[in-house]
Every structure is written in C-alpha cells, then in structure tokens.
Amino acid sequence: MLQFSESEIQAIKERASVSMIETLKNNNDVVLNHDTLVPETGIATWNLYYFCPEHGVRLTWDRYKPKSHCCPVDGKEFTGEPYDGAWWRWLNGLNAKACYDLGLLWQLTGDNLYLEKVTGILLKYAKYYPDYEEHGGIPYNGPGKANAQTLCEANCHLDFARGYDFVKGQLSTEQQQYVEDRLLREGAEFLMKHRTAQLHNHEMKINATVGVIGLILDEQNYIDFALNTEYGIHYQLDHGCTNEGMWFEGSIHYHYYALQALLNFEKMACNTPYSVSSNTNFLKMLKFPLSLVLNNGEFPRLNDSIDGQQKLTHAHLFEFAQRQYPCELFARTLASIYQNISRDNIEALLYGVDELPTAKPLACHTVHAKEAGITLEFDAKNDNALLFKHAPYGGEHDHYDRLGIILTRQGKEILPDLGTTGYGAELHCSYYKNTATHNTLVVNQHNQSPINPQLNHYLQDEKATVIDAQVDWTQEEASVDSHTIVQWNSKSYQDVKYRRVLIWLDNLLVELHKVENPHQQQLDLTYHVRGAHKHPQQMVAVDNPLQGPLARMTQTRLSAQAQSHELIYKVEKQADYSQHIWSNQPCQILTGYAPDNPAISDLAYSLVQSTEPQFNAVVLHDLSDEQSVSIEYIEWEGDRLNCTFVKDGQEQTLNYDLASCAFDHP
C-alpha cells in the first residue's frame, strides 16, 4: 500500500474511534447495503443537471427510483432526461467513493465484507469501462466515458485508484492485472488524451488523478505528464495564481477545488521526490482565501459558488496542511471549522496531528489584494464589512460583475453576492450568472463584456478608507488562457466608462459613481437587498419593463424623475437600512423582487435608471441603527465633488477630486 506504511496504518487503527467507523459505514450505506450496481454502458451524464429548475436546489436522489426525481422543497417529480442520466452519475460517484471509504474500512477493521464490496465494484467497472462510449456535450468540458465530462471521469478514477491501493495486496495477480489494465490505465490514458490546453481547476483535477495512478502503478510516464508538462501541475501553479496566491478563476470554491485535487496527489507524494510543496504558490494558495472570511464566518460567494460552498468546512485540506506546514493561520482555520462540530473525523484520523494547538477562530479583517482585485474592509467597532470586487476577468466561472460590492451589517449580508446554483439548472445561466443580479452597473440589462479594472487609488487612515477603481470599455476586451463561451454583449458596453469610488466611514458607506455613456444606453445602477422595500407614497405600481434576467422581477414599482431619492428597507432582526441617492440629472428608481439563493425567498431590488450621456451619482448607505443620515448639499463640478451630510446630528463634509484622487474629510 502506497498511502500509508505498515506502522502508520497500525497507528491509525489504534486511534480510530467507534464513531469514525460508524460514520464511514453510514456514509456508504447505499452501496454497502444493496447489491452492487454498475452501469453496463456509458449512461451517466452530469450531476449538475440534478437540480430543481424552479427552486435551484438539488433533487432528492433515491437508490430505488432511477426514473423518478423529486424536489425537496415542494415534492414535484421530474422524469426523463437530463435527470435520469444525472441519477446514474450520482451512482457512479457513490460507487467510486465507496471504493476509497470501504477500502479504508477494511484496513481499519479487517472485515472481509468491505474487502469484497470494493473488489466487486472495481472488477465490475474494469469489465465494462473499456467499452463505455465517449459522450459529453457539457459546456466548457471534454467528454467522459463512465460519465459525461472529463472532470467527472477524473473524480471517479481518483477514488477508484485510492481504493485499489487499500485492497491491492488481497487481490490475485490476475485480478490486479485486470483492474490495472482495464480500469486504471484505461482511465489514465483517457484523461491524458482529453486534458485541455488551458489553465483550469479541471486540469488540476485531471493532473492529480493521472499522477496518483502513476504513483500507485509506478508508471513514470503518468507522473511526468501530471507534474512537468505544459498545463501540468507546476505549470498550473506557476501561471494560474496571482502573487498573493489567488486562483485566477476568482471563485473561492474553485480555488479550493483546485487545491483539493492537488492535495490528493500531495498526500501520496509528500515523502517522495514528486512532492509539489516546493512550488512557492502551493502554500500561498492554501493561505490566501482565509483572509477573505467575512464577519458572518463564511467566504464571499464570488463568481460561481453553489449555495453551501461558501461554508468553511475544509478539514480535508487543513488537517493535512497543519501537519505538514504547521502555522498559526492553519491552526486558527481548524479552530473555526471545529467551533460547532467534533474533530472526530476521518481526515483528522488519517492526516491530523494528535492534538491541535490552542488557537482563536479566524476573524474578519481588512485586506487589500491589488493583484487579486479584492478589497475587504472591516469595521470592527460596528461589525460591518465591505467587499469591493475590482478583479481581473476570470474566464468560465466569472460572473461579469466588475466593480461589484458586498455589504454586511452586524454580521448579516444585506447586499450579498448570490453565487449560483447547479449549472444544469435554468436559473444558473438565465439569472445568477449575470451582471443584472449583482450590485454593480448594468447596461441595457446585458452582461458586461470582459474587462480588467484599473485601481486608481487606495487610502486607509484613521478617518476613512477610500477605494477608487474604474472599468473602461474603450479598451480591448480582457482574455485568459482558459476556454470561454461568449455570454456578454460587447455592443451595449461599447465606449462606456464606469468609475466607482467607495468611501468607508463610521457606520456609513459613501459611493461616487461616474459613468460616461456616449451612446446614451440604458444604465441601471443595481442593488439587491436581503430585506423588504418600505415604499414612499410617490412610487407607483407598474408592469415590469425589463427583459433578460430581471424579467422575472415581481411587484415592480417606479418613482418619479428626481435628483434625490431615499430608499428604506426592512431587514429581518435588524433596524431598517436606508440608501440616500443623488444624481447630477433627474433619474428614476425601479424596484421589485427577484430570487435569492436558494430561490425559495426573494431579494428587494432597486435600480437607479438613467440614459444621460454623463451620469454622476452619490449613494449614501446608512448602516447605523438610528437611520440618522441625510444629504444636505452636493456640488459635483467636473472632477471635483463636495458633499455635505448630516450624521448623528452633526454636519460633516467630504471632498474628492477624481483627477488627483485627493480626499479630504475634515
């Protein structure tokens, strides 16, 4: 066995608790307590089709109902494709996972029931795998054999290989040859053939799986392919990270997904010449996103992140990391993970230190990551946080929301990033993955064409924090060394320039928006709030005038044209939250409701609308409980803004020169 030495597995057996063993058994109940079911043809499609198209939640998978699939929200039944094929993909995943988990159980208990189950699964897949037909059609992805995309193929083969490593010594020579030739080598060769020449988390997973198979089979060609070729592991690390350690795709979920693949390889390679720990970006990638934990204890759902993936639950990464590279940051990360759950888990058993050092859980703090294009400001006094996304274009998993913001008050996201749902669900492309469903500027209700923002100025002192960034669509579109599908509208954004300045004060966010709109397109400065509108009397009910993602908006109301507006929202378990809006020309506000994530409740949308060729706006977000802010006077001439407002009964002024980025708040 390659994964653990005899002495290591003996020590693991001695530490294993009854509850750990029961957890492994329970987690594999479907496979363990049923006849082994393996598809005889390549019938499986994509697990991300297995979502309710209305609510965007995963359907309930039932071992006894391969042709009936129910929504857990309302019990609605779905039949036929794409759900039937996704059911088989789920089964393939359970079978592959069981190879690893039950192989480990056999090592821990010596119970031949587990050995026989793993052996049966491996031999059945080895029987059918070479004859599975290639199939696919999943956006952005290469084909599969057992499944419909190369990534899923890699995920399953990783567990097949690690499970085989646990039981190999108990198989006959003929059985070993059968599994190695017809399953593991067939899988590795297929993955090598279909690895794409791109930077991507998929290619990290493919590389890691080929590398693991190479280590287990002692196949140098596979190891070299995984590590040292163009678009291999070292190439991905060297070219796919910022100097700060952020993965280029801009999604924290996919950042750690790429690392999960890498650590599956490193857990086997750490004591060999093939360890990747010497790559300088390896530890940077482990550490960087930990600095972005919000004051709700979760990661921001930037770009593609399905609901639930924002949770810090990564024991499978940080137990190993703390053992191999002990530091206070990893200790604090594990303290966060184990705040409300026991450490009695398999990752701690296999890879953790005997006793974790005493450490405080991670806490939100201010971070300005210029290359990653993320600035997180934390006001510890009031427990408020602001995240500003001025990140470069990230490719496939991007959400076209340059200069978007997230705002939390007292640990609650009131201006959230929604992330997304399963990619096979209608809501993914039609709603969540769009500029219009983010807190930023939208033109003609179309997606922003890819652009890399420019950071003009960052200032932090005892009075305020100022973050000034802009996007200029007169410049060439941004691109990445990664395959993409055009999901934007370049014509709508042609020649538009958008500048957003955030001024972070005590319990107050002041925003300056400057938009050059030479073709007088429809501008919608968009906010969505986890709350409910408290409408002023002058707003009237109207039919929803919007097309595109927000055509689904309900209860739409429209204000009169005016230079000044006040919007108030009722927020559950908090005081009201208000926005005070001023613009250089009269504008109107369109409000309504559209889905949150998951789509079982709604957000309150507000769109500040204008078609002016030069649109300037000031927005004050009052985060206090007293709602004591009001705008007294604004003068915006050319590049210079003078603003006077009253807060807590005191008159305050601020001045900002957009030409020189000079800020004054006496």
Handedness of CA 144, 67, 131, 99 (dihedral sign): positive
535 — pLDDT class (breaks 50, 70, 90): confident
The pLDDT of residue 66 is above 90: yes
pLDDT of residue 541: 95
Q: What is the pLDDT of residues 115-147, one digit of tens each?
A: 999 999 999 999 999 999 999 988 888 999 999
627 — pLDDT class (breaks 50, 70, 90): confident
How far CA 546 is from CA of 31, 189, 431, 588, in Å, comes to 49, 50, 13, 14
Distance CA 556, CA 547 (A): 13
259 — pLDDT class (breaks 50, 70, 90): very high
CATH 1.50.10.100 in the chain, residues? 6-287
Q: Answer yes or no: are the C-beta atoms of 103 and 118 closer than 8 Å.
A: yes
CATH 2.70.98.70 in the chain, residues? 367-664
pLDDT of residue 424: 85
How far CA 472 is from CA of 172, 212, 476, 503, 636, in Å, comes to 65, 45, 9, 21, 21
- What residue type is assigned to position 225 of the chain? F
Between helix 150-167 and helix 201-217 the angle, nearest 10°, is 30
pLDDT of residue 41: 95
Q: Over the chain, what is the mean pLDDT?
A: 96
Q: Answer yes or no: are the C-beta atoms of 320 and 344 closer than 8 Å.
A: no
The pLDDT of residue 4 is above 80: yes
Q: What is the pLDDT of residues 454-477, one digit of tens each?
A: 999 999 998 899 999 999 999 999
The pLDDT of residue 618 is above 90: yes
Strand residues in 454-601 grouped as ranges (E): 454-460, 465-472, 497-505, 508-516, 523-529, 532-533, 540-541, 554-558, 562-570, 577-595
The pLDDT of residue 537 is above 90: no
The pLDDT of residue 322 is above 80: yes
Between helix 18-27 and helix 83-109 the angle, nearest 10°, is 150
Average pLDDT value for residue range 165-178: 98
**Residue 495: count of CB within 10 angstroms of its CB:** 12
Q: What is the pLDDT of residues 415-429, one digit of tens each?
A: 999 999 998 889 999
Q: Which fold has domain 367-664?
A: Beta-galactosidase; Chain A, domain 5 (2.70.98)
Q: What is the pLDDT of residues 570-595, one digit of tens each?
A: 999 999 999 999 999 999 999 999 99
- CATH class (in words) of the domain with range 6-287: mainly alpha
